[in-house]
Structure 1
């Protein structure tokens, strides 16, 4: 909907909420010219972010992550499996992303959210990527127990509790946090010769692995989603911002600052590489912030 001439006078005379509802794009642009946003952030400022490890007591690894109002709960359950013949010395990771109706008014009961399979695929590609023969964040060989006979299957489930924009960024951070918290259980051989998770009552049995252990995480990925609108770049958009402005770019960098992926689902073709370079620079800064948040959460768990 176009804004009539004399929009400045109209804005001053019209109630702010009414103007926002009737002319949402123009409402936002009236803030952009002042290098700010309606929620008080600068254009390139991300929302307040927090990470709490161990949010699910029954899981082997878990985390609750919030970016603004966007909230993700990630949980990992480990199960012993027979490894595939093509990779007898590797375990597996299965990733599912869930968007229950409670997360957003746009998600209807009985109907899967359109974004869920897209985010799930992005997460799998990012966490399990193979680039130039280097492993992704998790080395699947670390999930092997007995070559060709037993390995770990890690089931990672991420539940979106509040979908207020930048879903992939929050989901990826929750996955990284859950794997950082993960403790691989102790297993033993039962009377039938099968590898099973040891219970506390089986303390006398010989363990196949040496106590609970943590995974070695490398090339940890961090991401930042930006909206590109005219000459403006908006970092970490809310759901309202995403619904009004269509050009989204998500940059994923690893912990060494190397580009992992760049995802652009829609909007016009980008004509200037400088815009992408600006987004990468913002992501590099954001990655340092997220690493510090994750380190603080891990340190807090170790103290406890």
Structure 2
């Protein structure tokens, strides 16, 4: 009996080794065999996204921060505010500076001293989406018109890169801005604006803003990346799937399901029917992401109340 059990275990182990060898040697064939059964290597359906979590306030030293996990992809976004002089073209507006970081620890494909090419693309796209979506009202970052305003430094760090990096980066950036709290500031005798610490009620200087506050949002952008292979649409692809499938589409929608952006970085020609399917899937995903984000806000508020 023991011998039979050992033989079964050995056979199972051999089978696992053979499957893994086939997966590495013939990755496309391995993926296609799964797709034919309407299942993916990680057991998801083609239209299924990975589990997503949002934790607000992950960085205590930042004015706003969020840690997001999208499957095994992890993003940390933090915002630091600094007082600056506004431009003459927009004297009553603040500004936002975006940086996206991919340190070598996030992926074996990222080498020390060699910035990943995708990092600059994600950084530029992220900045464009945050501005063009109408999520941020830069007038809310104004302190004294024509004299002082806030410059928000948004840094997004990829802690683990396992696919759909832009989706995770956008969620973390949005969550960090939602968590952002504008600090109290006063004007000193020299006319310079400075932030007020914990003794704000005891300051001898008049406060510019009476209470700490959060920003207001009307249109919050959410995105969904779909990998396209023949007639199949794979939602929220992993790094393994992205390395196999060359064609992908990223759809960005706002709170009203209006299209903010559709990006297709190369790959095969895609039919309009497939694009419409991606948009439909993005609408479903937007609603779920909004629920996740609102749940994280409620969890933070409940924690602060306790």
State the 1:129 CA deviation. Answer: 1.1
Partners of 2:145 and 2:173 in 1: CA distance: 27
State the 1:201 CA deviation. Answer: 4.1
Higher helix share goes to which structure? 2
Q: How many residues end up aligned between the 2 structures?
A: 287
Q: Secondary structure at the match of 1:126?
A: helix
TM-score by length of 1: 0.92
- Mapped pair 1:297 → 2:299: no
Partners of 1:277 and 1:106 in 2: CA distance: 33
- Mapped pair 1:51 → 2:66: no
| Among candidates 163, 166, 170, match of residue 165 of structure 1 | 163
Partners of 1:190 and 1:199 in 2: CA distance: 14
Partners of 1:198 and 1:13 in 2: CA distance: 61
Q: Secondary structure at the match of 2:100?
A: strand
Runs of 4+ in 1 over 6 A off after TM superposition: none
- Mapped pair 1:127 → 2:125: no
Q: Secondary structure at the match of 1:250?
A: strand
Q: Secondary structure at the match of 1:128?
A: helix
What residue number does 2:280 align with? 281
* Structure 1 unaligned residues grouped into runs of 5+: 1-11, 131-135
What residue number does 1:140 align with? 138
* Structure 2 unaligned residues grouped into runs of 5+: 1-14
State the 1:13 CA deviation. Answer: 11
| Among candidates 179, 182, 196, match of residue 181 of structure 1 | 179
TM-score by length of 2: 0.92
| Among candidates 107, 116, 119, match of residue 116 of structure 1 | 119
Q: Secondary structure at the match of 1:261?
A: strand
Partners of 2:238 and 2:17 in 1: CA distance: 24
Q: Secondary structure at the match of 1:15?
A: helix
| Range with greater deviation from structure 2 (223-232 or 191-200) | 191-200
State the 1:82 CA deviation. Answer: 0.4
State the 1:200 CA deviation. Answer: 2.4
- C-alpha change, 1:93 and 1:13, in structure 2 (3 Å) is closer
Q: Secondary structure at the match of 1:44?
A: coil
Question: What is the correspondence of 1:74-93 to structure 2 with a 5 Å cutoff?
Answer: 74-93=77-96
Partners of 1:28 and 1:102 in 2: CA distance: 27
